Structure 1
Amino acid sequence: MIDEMWMRGWAENHGRFSADLDRGLSQIAQAWRSWRRRGPGAGGSAKPRAGAH
């Protein structure tokens, strides 16, 4: 009985879960493209980090 309830809940919410996952991955990809366009050194502090050579 619990398996049936779980499967019904999964079937009802799978579309929303997939849309949320797709939206989140798109935002990560967009941020990555933006970061790559800027360059890894842009936007950070001018002071070098400890241990960076």
Structure 2
Amino acid sequence: MTAAVANTAQLWQDTEQARYRRAYPRLLGDPQPLPPRWLARLREAVASKSSISA
């Protein structure tokens, strides 16, 4: 599960960077950060994985 969430977060960042490199999508604004809810879930998943491994 953690890997899937981390992969999704990376895909989001890659997509936003690619979008911003093109002129016409740039009209939508600056690259958007990962939505806060997604980031919170990713942090929770990483924390729970770390506590299981310890």
**Structure index of larger Rg:** 1
Same fold (TM over 0.5): no
Q: Normalised by the shorter chain, which TM-score bucket?
A: 0.3 to 0.5
TM-score (norm 2): 0.42
TM-score normalised by length of structure 1: 0.43
Between Structure 1 and Structure 2, which shows a larger proportion of helix residues? Answer: 2
